Structure 1
Amino acid sequence: MTTTDVTRVATYREVTDKNGRVYRIGESDIDIMGRKRKWMVILPWVGMMGISSAEYAFASAEDTLHTAHHWNSMHIFWMMTVWVFFQAAVAFPAGKLRESGKLPARWAMMFGATGTLLGYLSLAFAPHVVVAYIGFSVFSGMGAGMVYATCVNMVGKWYPERKGGKTGFVNGGFAYGSVPFVFIFNGYMDLTNFRWVLVSVGVFLAGIVAFSGFFFRDPPKNWWPAAIDPLNPPKDPRAARSLRMNPPAVHQYSPKEAWKTGRVALMWFCLACTSGVNIFGIAFQVDIGEEAGFAGGIVATAMSLKAIVNGTGRGVIGWLSDLYGRKRCLLFVCLVLGLSQYGILWSAEAKNLPLFLVFSSVSGFGGGAIFPMFAALTADYFGENNNASNYGMVYSAKLVSGLGAGMGAVVVGAWGHSGAFILAGSISLFAGCMALFLSPPGRDKETRRIAPNPQPLGEDMS
């Protein structure tokens, strides 16, 4: 970055479309924050990588933590469950504070960095398992939730006309940023160095989150890129197709208005089901691989492949959703996630390592791709102004889906891996069936009764 935070003074005006939605135009990204808006994709992506290891690499540290601290192995799964609970629980209140102006994006990221550091310190030095729950599950979970909500919503605000691919790219950092730490925790960390490793990782990742967050800045409410006409089809073919397949919300919905449409509850249910399956897979893929007789290094490789495909899949599905529509891609992802659970089980029972790696990767794609779909759908359906709060309501589904680790351990104990993976696949397929009923609020009526706006840019002035 060669620019500064000095804001240029630029004139702007507000125009209103046929639905009454207001667009603030005339200001460029450089006018607002002194740098290109691409930095509001790159920096959130880096921030997301800084929090990813707490969820995706944590299972790889299970054996070392269990032996070093003499914790019951069930505590490891429930720590992850409680971490996910607090990560999701903070999304809505943090969103409300962000939108009210009481919690600037920069400070949200600093709080997230602090929580990340406290989480790793507690895993290294906790004198009792309760301290680890408080430090890792509560503080690290809340910190990660602030970072996640801030980063995902930031990119949608800066790219309102083409948010799918950008949101997916940023979201992907939450998965493949953990890849090096899967190998570190599984193959390098042991009883002689685990404290040094955990502290070093915590300091490094907290520094990454704080550095990236220092440069965060929100655009003004209702901001729209100056080069794109919000009242007429854009000349850029990519933006034109994206807006045609995923038209913007008819107006900026408040959280109360969004809830009344019924779409939030349906999206919440679908995300609870699919993210629960994703978390279950993260927690138990190592176990089923080891039960099948695959070597620990191979299982770590499978987890790394899962994380890599999980992350890259988020970017790919986001880009595809700009081309083919968010809902179509969401249905495809639910199908892939469900069928891959059956594939993992079948390949493990057949002791077929190549297929195990393939289905593990496919499961990673499905498990990761659901998140950018719901993030982009929320902005498409309800607008960008209150997206932090609206997506916070949807994302709170992880309060329930976090049980995929803890309750997954209960199901595995009762039904074995066979019953648990069959149940997980069936839940994902059922979520896909429910997603068939999703539709953008207000647009079905509007398309029947409102003719296209014939006026050129600027004639509808608010």
Structure 2
Amino acid sequence: MPSFSSKNEVGLDGSFAQLPVSEPPEPTGRTKKILRRVLRYYSKVETPKNLPRSIDDIRLFFGLVKCRPWIIIVSGIIAQFLYGSLYSWSIFNDPINERIYGNADANMAQITFYIALGFMGTTAAAAGPWIESHHPRITTLIGCLLFFSGHLLSGLATYFNRIGLLYFGYGVVSGMGLGIGYVSTIDVVTKWFPKTRGLASGIAVAGFGAGSTAFSSIDRELIEKFGLPGTFFFLGMIMLVVQATSSQFMSFPPIGWNTNGVVVVGHNETLTARGRENIGQVLGHNRDIHQPEQTTTYLQLFDNERPVINITLASALGSRDFWLLYFGFLANELMGVVFISNLATMIQALFNSNGRTSELTPTTVVTIEAAFNMGGRMIMGFFSDRLGRKTAFLTLIGVQIIIISLIPHSILNRVFWEFCAFVWIATWCYGGGFGMIPAFLADMFGVNNTSSCHGIFLTAWSLGAIGGGLLYNGITRRLTNSGRKSSDPYIYNVNLYWILGIVVLGFVLTLFVRATARDRLFPAAPGQIMRIRIFGRIFRLTRVVNSIDPHRPTAPHVDMSMQESNKKRWFPKLKFEMLSSEQEQSLWEEYLLLRAIQSRLRGNMV
């Protein structure tokens, strides 16, 4: 269970006692031992020891450069830019198929991309706790070396025409490097900017989007100049030098830079006059509530320490909020990884066939789409700092629901500019989800758990790309084999329908995510069935039972119709209400008052 702490530890259920945790008996058998090690690995993150005391104690690049936060984020952008070359893999498909199989339409090189995405997600999920417990110079350098090694193996695979070696080299090895390098870079940047996590992580992830745009042109030029093997060797060397250099500018922030856990309340929240008076009476303080300089804040209430929820990795991964948000993230990214990844083919089939010519070439549309992807990552991260993570995330999914519902109209009527506008907006939402999710996880589960949680979240990206991609291609292939042409709008609209269903479900599940410590600790109402926060307001459904008991003896003169009416009134009623800001604040103050009393009583008993 996560714990609520100020000076003393208080459980989320209100209890004080911390029971000693007894180690379970050592299991017998190799399988059980491995299982226990895995459970221990994902139970708690061991943070690095001997962290510096201040920023002046941190030296970068072999001790030659003083540490500054802006240096960390620039290094992160450079690393992410090179990792973004993954999204330019489609440039290699036709040349590789032509070289190995003698047919550009062999459709074998495309499998490499799906393997890389799969290993990126699984490696990130497996390495998350390890990344969190080791220095970022080590983790980013290992990611860089794996990414470089995968490129070298890919060069050998294309030189000797071995598709299996290509799958292993770029798909497995480079995919593993991507998973480690991506998560460790974003984790460091998020830790250095606690007050603007959304903007910082969004800027870093925008580097990934920029790389996907730039390398589409770079790879094409390199293939024409050096050939396939030479291109992989050249790219590998460039990435080794640049990424290894940027890894030497990575460092964790000093002790005290971030709050150890999830903050329950902020510095600027104050109690009402009534709350201050009650707290003063209970704690034995005689203060004039009309004097501004004596205003009691939550910070003062908890002995000058901010109340914090300390969440272990096991409790984070085992919470319903984690998996609800996981599915919401999958829903938000599904449209991008499945539908928009086939954008060039769709434009060619829908708007450049049967004598029609689109106003923009497919390459131009895809380039603009990449710009929206990059802009969404950065700007939505900034807005999530202002609007709140959950509000911003729900907005992204909600906009996608509207867009996916409208795209079939533009496809059926072949309205080019309408179609492009819808797709670009959906791409903005797709990128925005990647930009704000690291900060979202840090806010919900603490900065010490960010790498582990973020790594597991990337499996949603892999699941959407592989599972969704296979489903999309399977439906498309079946419809075309049944006699429909590739320019038939029905093919694309059918795929939009199942995507829309998943996105709607993701929106509904995200509504129930308790995104803040306040939401997780907020006291339940009597008879409460459900409580959710939507765009900053609390809505709750409660069960209200009439006080008239149908089994109570009734006086002889009471009419039988009255008794029947009373029986009907006894059945529970449901009450749906929206709490005002004043009601929510009053209930929250009462909760904190109770915690303050319990904490003070525990201190007196000790």
Q: Return the offset for 1:165.
A: 0.9
Counterpart contact for 2:397–2:507, Cα < 8 Å:
yes
Opposite residue 56 of structure 2, the aligned amino acid is: I
Q: Which residue of 2 aligns with 1:366?
A: 429
- Structure 2 residue 349 is matched with structure 1 residue 286: no
Q: Which residue of 1 aligns with 2:150?
A: 119
Q: Distance in 2 between the 1:369 and 1:329 partners?
A: 9
Counterpart contact for 1:82–1:402, Cα < 8 Å:
no
Aligned Cα root-mean-square deviation (Å): 3.4
Opposite residue 428 of structure 1, the aligned amino acid is: V
Cα distance change of structure 1 residues 20 and 159 upon mapping to structure 2, 3 Å threshold: farther
The sequence identity of aligned pairs, in percent, is 21
Superposed counterparts of 1:301-340, under 5 Å: 301-340=364-403
Q: Which residue of 2 aligns with 1:100?
A: 133
The partner residue of 1:166 within 200, 208, 212 is: 200
Q: SS of the counterpart of 2:140? A: helix
Q: Which residue of 2 aligns with 1:239?
A: none
Residues 425-447 of structure 1: CA deviation (Å, up to 9, x unaligned): 44223312221111136523254
Superposed counterparts of 1:412-427, under 5 Å: 412-415=476-479, 416-427=491-502
Q: Return the offset for 1:88.
A: 0.9
Write 1 or 2 for the structure with the bigger share of strand.
Answer: 2
Q: Which residue of 2 aligns with 1:67?
A: 98
- Structure 2 residue 136 is matched with structure 1 residue 78: no
Q: SS of the counterpart of 1:75? A: coil
Residues 123-145 of structure 1: CA deviation (Å, up to 9, x unaligned): 44412221111111111111111
Q: SS of the counterpart of 2:69? A: coil
Q: Distance in 1 between the 2:204 and 2:109 partners?
A: 28
Q: SS of the counterpart of 1:440? A: coil
Residues 312-352 of structure 1: CA deviation (Å, up to 9, x unaligned): 21110011011111111101111233444455555455444
Cα distance change of structure 1 residues 283 and 215 upon mapping to structure 2, 3 Å threshold: same
Q: Return the offset for 1:207.
A: 2.9
- For structure 1, which segment, 376-385 or 60-69, has the greater mean C-alpha deviation from structure 2 after superposition? 60-69
Q: Distance in 2 between the 1:256 and 1:314 partners?
A: 29
Q: Return the offset for 1:35.
A: 1.7
Q: Distance in 2 between the 1:304 and 1:158 partners?
A: 32
Residues 353-406 of structure 1: CA deviation (Å, up to 9, x unaligned): 433432332222111111233221111111112221122233332342231333
Q: Distance in 2 between the 1:203 and 1:174 partners?
A: 19
Q: Return the offset for 1:112.
A: 2.0
Counterpart contact for 2:53–2:254, Cα < 8 Å:
no
Superposed counterparts of 1:33-432, under 5 Å: 33=59, 34-54=66-86, 56-70=87-101, 73-101=106-134, 104-126=135-157, 127-185=161-219, 189=223, 193-220=227-254, 223-224=257-258, 232-233=267-268, 250-294=308-352, 298-341=361-404, 346-348=409-411, 350-403=413-466, 404-415=468-479, 416-432=491-507
- For structure 1, which segment, 354-363 or 162-171, has the greater mean C-alpha deviation from structure 2 after superposition? 354-363
Q: Which residue of 1 aligns with 2:482?
A: none
- Taking structure 1 as the reference length, what is the TM-score of the superposition? 0.80
Q: Which residue of 2 aligns with 1:8?
A: none
Counterpart contact for 1:182–1:303, Cα < 8 Å:
no
- For structure 1, which segment, 351-360 or 330-339, has the greater mean C-alpha deviation from structure 2 after superposition? 351-360
Q: Distance in 1 between the 2:421 and 2:222 partners?
A: 25
Residues 238-294 of structure 1: CA deviation (Å, up to 9, x unaligned): xxxxxxxxxx99423222111232111112222223323321134311221221244
Unaligned runs of at least 5 residues, structure 1: 1-15, 235-247, 455-459
Opposite residue 119 of structure 1, the aligned amino acid is: G
- Taking structure 2 as the reference length, what is the TM-score of the superposition? 0.62
Counterpart contact for 1:46–1:212, Cα < 8 Å:
yes
Opposite residue 117 of structure 2, the aligned amino acid is: V
Unaligned runs of at least 5 residues, structure 2: 11-50, 60-65, 270-305, 480-490, 523-587, 597-602
Q: Distance in 1 between the 2:266 and 2:512 partners?
A: 29
Write 1 or 2 for the structure with the bigger share of helix.
Answer: 1
Q: Distance in 2 between the 1:261 and 1:181 partners?
A: 39
- Structure 2 residue 56 is matched with structure 1 residue 30: yes
Cα distance change of structure 1 residues 341 and 300 upon mapping to structure 2, 3 Å threshold: farther
Counterpart contact for 1:51–1:144, Cα < 8 Å:
yes
Q: Return the offset for 1:220.
A: 4.3
Q: Which residue of 2 aligns with 1:5?
A: none
Cα distance change of structure 1 residues 449 and 329 upon mapping to structure 2, 3 Å threshold: same
Counterpart contact for 1:20–1:251, Cα < 8 Å:
no
